[in-house]
Structure 1
Amino acid sequence: MATTIPIPIPTILCPPPFHKPPVPMTLGEAPLYRLSDSTLHWVDPLISPPELHILPIHPLTGVPLGPSRTLQLSDSVSVFYFRKNVKGSYIWAYYAGIAYMDEETGKLEVLREIIGNMRMRKAVAFGLGGPPETYGKPRGRLWMYDPDGSLHQMFEGVVCGNGIDWSPDNKTFYLNDSVGQMVYAFDFDLEQGSISNQTTLVDFHGTEGEPDGMVVDTDGNLWIAVYGTNRVMVFDPSGKKIKELVFSGNRLTCPTWGGVNHDILFISSAKGGEGLDGKADEGGNMFNYKVMDGPKGKAEHEFAG
């Protein structure tokens, strides 16, 4: 019988952090690039008070063009999107629910409070996961908030709902359950905004990492920040791992596409102690990786409300 020799997965060593805040972030999260003024936005929800950071970025190289602006927030925010029709305004998933926020003042306009002791993620669809003291119990839910103000529960039974994204044709919806260590795929009906036929795309059980934030490229590959490792892992639409990016921080949290050509991957991270292999850990800073060939990213969704 012939022996099948496994083909090594490409592993790419990536550059050190491209941006270091004066103090490493407790939990850098939810980076989002805005093309209109080439700025990168992200939050640190666990520092007191929580912070929003806005950094001017060169649209071709991803290099910072100046210092970041920091805005102190009135509540802990886990993720946000830009509002399509309102300049300088975000829709937020904050600790208790959903709100708009003004970029200049930091003022929250609460839209819906859902359950006060749970943590929300992502619009247009929001994944709701429990805080750390409830981890291990699948109480999290996935919500959809429509521009008309209606709220719909789409899925339940998540331990810690995290990264979400859609396939390029909008026919498949992906959801990461970080503490549950699963990546799920669903059929997605764009007209109805509904999901069905849940399947497990990637199972991280037996590994040291948790699937955290995620983005999809133009070929439908999933780029997943794996918390507890120093890697962004890339999986094809069938769930096969095809590439790994290696960074100098072992608590990577969330990637986003940016740059005028959507060819720069920006990654947030959380600070930690000693790094992997005994080397100094550079978590709590911002990383990037420029795609030189192959599929690139796609623009992030904006909220229509």
Structure 2
Amino acid sequence: MKKNRFINFFVILFTIIFLFQSFYKMEIEALENSEVENVRATLIYPQHAILGEGSIWSDTDRVLYWIDIEGKKLFIYNPKTNCNQEFQLSDLPGTVVQRTNGELLIAIRNGITSFNPHTKEFKVMSHPNTVTNNRYNDGKCDPQGRFWVSTMSLEDDNPPKASLFKINRDFHSEKIFDGVRIGNGLVWSIDQTKFYYIDTPTLNIDEMDYNAASGTVSNRRHCISFDHNFGHPDGMTIDNEGKLWVAHWEGGRVTRWCPITKKLLLTVTVPNVSRVTSCAFGDDDLQSLYITTARRENEPDSGSLFKYRFTNGIRGSPAFKFQG
């Protein structure tokens, strides 16, 4: 009888411990979920681009550069005047960055092209892509002023034939790696030791070790993986705390992630738009998140420019310029 009581005591004790652990786990999960803030972006310019992309803020000109890939256009948005200047391009652009001499560098399908918005002069400076059915897609400058740009296939190539290139300051190009489907979302960590990269169909952000002096990467591995409920990861930027911000194609949102804990921290919903393509921090204090979108039937505001203004201290990091 005493033995049975002893056994029953421990059964009850273990049951209590199990229930307590389960309850504690539920409380922790609820707390983590409650920490994911949800905010809503505002429509600021009804451009209706076919495929708005490539947003980047100029801290010197105080304007937002962005593009319409399918419309073959460059836009310069001035928030002070709410004016969105348009420039027609010769072919499909993938992205745009600013040069330290004040000109722009645009990755157009027929070449990496320097453009002077004042004189309207275009000049092809480099053209590393040699695959006929590829075009340039997303790209950014690294902290040392080199231009990194991905390509993507205009066909459903298998195996994938796109690549990531680096354009050095003398316009000499190098291939970083190939085997890419849709290269997107390039950013460098605040301490310049990591490089983050998105190949959209993989549904991953990859992390690599970055050598700032040589401009090389190594030890590629998955950092953050998305399920299909998020749509497809597209453009990406980074804030001054080192957190990653990802635009979600067919996901209708931009999300903020910690690359160390892999946790979702914040969601910016883009109302009534599913194809969210890129994001960039802007305005004088870098506390506004600008968001580009692409057109879709039955979504009247799609293709427009959106914005969310932070008042809680979140701010971006200045975009690097091409030093060539």
TM-score, normalised to structure 2's length?
Answer: 0.83
1:179-206 Cα shifts (integer Å, max 9, x gaps) = 2222111000101101001010122254
Q: CA deviation at 1:42?
A: 1.1
Equivalent residue letter for 1:212:
D
For residue 149 of structure 1, give the secondary structure of its aligned residue in structure 2. coil
One of 205, 211, 218 as aligned partner of 2:233 = 211
Identity of aligned residues (%): 24
Q: Does 1:46 align with 2:56?
A: no
Q: CA deviation at 1:294?
A: 3.8
1:73, 1:106 within 8 Å by CA — same for their partners in 2? no
Question: CA separation in 2, counterparts of 1:203 and 1:175?
Answer: 12
1:139-198 Cα shifts (integer Å, max 9, x gaps) = 221111101122111122221101100111111101111122221110001011010010
For residue 164 of structure 1, give the secondary structure of its aligned residue in structure 2. strand
1:245 is matched with 268
1:67 is matched with 83
One of 65, 68, 79 as aligned partner of 1:57 = 79
Q: Which runs of 5+ in 2 are unaligned?
A: 1-17, 141-146
One of 144, 148, 154 as aligned partner of 1:125 = 148
Question: CA separation in 2, counterparts of 1:136 and 1:265?
Answer: 36
Q: Does 1:100 align with 2:122?
A: no
1:77, 1:95 within 8 Å by CA — same for their partners in 2? yes
Going from structure 1 to structure 2, the CA distance change for 1:281 and 1:68 (only over 3 Å counts) comes to closer
For residue 134 of structure 1, give the secondary structure of its aligned residue in structure 2. coil
Q: Whose helix proportion is higher, 1 or 2?
A: 2
Question: CA separation in 1, counterparts of 2:224 and 2:300?
Answer: 27
Name the Cα RMSD after superposition.
1.8
Could you list the runs of 4 or more consecutive aligned residues of structure 1 that deviate by over 6 angstroms after TM superposition? none
1:109 is matched with 123
Name whichever of 188-197 and 287-296 sits farther off: 287-296
Going from structure 1 to structure 2, the CA distance change for 1:208 and 1:293 (only over 3 Å counts) comes to closer
For residue 179 of structure 1, give the secondary structure of its aligned residue in structure 2. helix
1:33-81 Cα shifts (integer Å, max 9, x gaps) = 222232122111202xx111112113xxxxxx24321111112111011
1:157 is matched with 179
Going from structure 1 to structure 2, the CA distance change for 1:32 and 1:98 (only over 3 Å counts) comes to same
Question: CA separation in 2, counterparts of 1:112 and 1:303?
Answer: 13
Going from structure 1 to structure 2, the CA distance change for 1:135 and 1:250 (only over 3 Å counts) comes to farther
1:277 is matched with none
Question: CA separation in 2, counterparts of 1:137 and 1:16?
Answer: 40
Name whichever of 229-238 and 95-104 sits farther off: 95-104
Q: CA deviation at 1:283?
A: 1.5
TM-score, normalised to structure 1's length?
Answer: 0.88
Aligned residues: 287
Question: CA separation in 2, counterparts of 1:203 and 1:106?
Answer: 42
One of 37, 43, 57 as aligned partner of 1:33 = 57
Going from structure 1 to structure 2, the CA distance change for 1:234 and 1:96 (only over 3 Å counts) comes to same
Q: Which runs of 5+ in 1 are unaligned?
A: 59-64, 275-279
One of 180, 187, 195 as aligned partner of 2:202 = 180
Q: CA deviation at 1:281?
A: 5.3
1:74, 1:106 within 8 Å by CA — same for their partners in 2? no
1:244-287 Cα shifts (integer Å, max 9, x gaps) = 1111121110001111111111010001124xxxxx55221001
For residue 45 of structure 2, give the secondary structure of its aligned residue in structure 1. coil
Equivalent residue letter for 1:112:
S
